[in-house]
Every structure is written in structure tokens, then in C-alpha cells.
Structure 1
């Protein structure tokens, strides 16, 4: 395996994260519940992980601020534009697979 410096690893990971976030912004048709049911994480998880990283570095970041970073707009605006009601089947699947920290 290729060896990377710490700076290279950080830069590559940051680029991959930015690409993932942009991809999720473009795929607003994919609902968070679908992501949770298939992959066990969603946009809100990403925003929480971002906030956790900021907190670990001593930078205060609110839940709303971290969500806006991931969604590219205030969360309430994204919900109004893109979120649909989840079917009973999707909600049941989520509850059956729900991670312990959600």
C-alpha cells in the first residue's frame, strides 16, 4: 500500500468528504431514511460527525451550523424542499435496524 504523509491523508480524506457531501446535495431524491436503512448513516450523521470533530478541536459548532454545512442550506429549508413522508414500511425497517445512538 502507498504510504502517505499525515498531511496527504488529511487532504485526501477531506477531498473525499467534500465529494460525498456534494454528491448527497445533488441527490436530494435520496431520503435520509433510505440512507439509514441501506447504509446505517445519513446526512444528519455526517453533520453530527463534523460537529464532533469541531468540538474535539475546541471549536464550538451548533447542530444547525453543522447541518447547514452538510445540506448546503438551513435544514428546515432542505426539509421543506426535499423531504417526503416515509412509508410505514420504511419507518418499520428503520426501527428494526436503528443504530443504538439514534
Structure 2
């Protein structure tokens, strides 16, 4: 496979991941952090870093809007729930296991 084809496939897979996360708003960021050790905010930071590496001016809120499909404040108001005691405990265990 040539590098252009690889880049196209990676970009298509990334777009599908973003679309999937935008459709599944019931999946909270803390759930993603517990299970996969990354969340939508991590993706936004990686996206912003990729832009910076290429000389593209983008701030964190702009990157989050790409990932969330809307301004983060709007997504948070519509879809974010308070973390449960169980989620917080699972996240704490995950962090402890990294140490």
C-alpha cells in the first residue's frame, strides 16, 4: 500500500470514530477514560497538536468543536452527566494501576 492510500484509510477511520462518538452521546468521557485511557478531550488535544505541527492555528475550543460536533459547552449542557461514585472509583483504580 502506498503512503497516500494509508493516509486516506487512516483519515476515513478517524472520521468514522468521530462520527461514532458524536452519535453515542450516552458514552461519557469518564467511561472512555476508564476503558480506553483516552476520551473526546484527548482526541481534541491530539487534533490540535497535529494542527500545530502543520502550522495551522487552532485553539483547544476549536479542536473540541471538531471532535464533539458542536461547542463543548453545548455538548456538556445537553449530554454530560455527573460521574457516579462507581465511575470515580473505577477511574481512581485505573490511575493507581498506572503508578
Both structures adopt the same fold (TM-score exceeding 0.5): yes
CA shift, 1:98, in A, is 3.4
Instruction: Give the match's secondary structure for 1:98.
Output: helix
Would you say 1:45 and 2:42 are equivalent positions? yes
Between the two proteins, the alignment pairs up a number of residues equal to 96
1:9 matched residue in structure 2 = 6
Distance 1:56 1:21 in 2: 21
Would you say 1:19 and 2:16 are equivalent positions? yes
Runs of 4+ in structure 1 off by over 2 angstroms are none
CA shift, 1:96, in A, is 2.8
Structure 1, unaligned runs of 5 or more: none
The equivalent position to 1:67 in structure 2, one of 64, 67, 72, is 64
State TM-score, norm by structure 1. 0.89
2:32 matched residue in structure 1 = 35
Q: 1:63 to 1:98 in 2, by over 3 A?
A: farther
Structure 2, unaligned runs of 5 or more: none
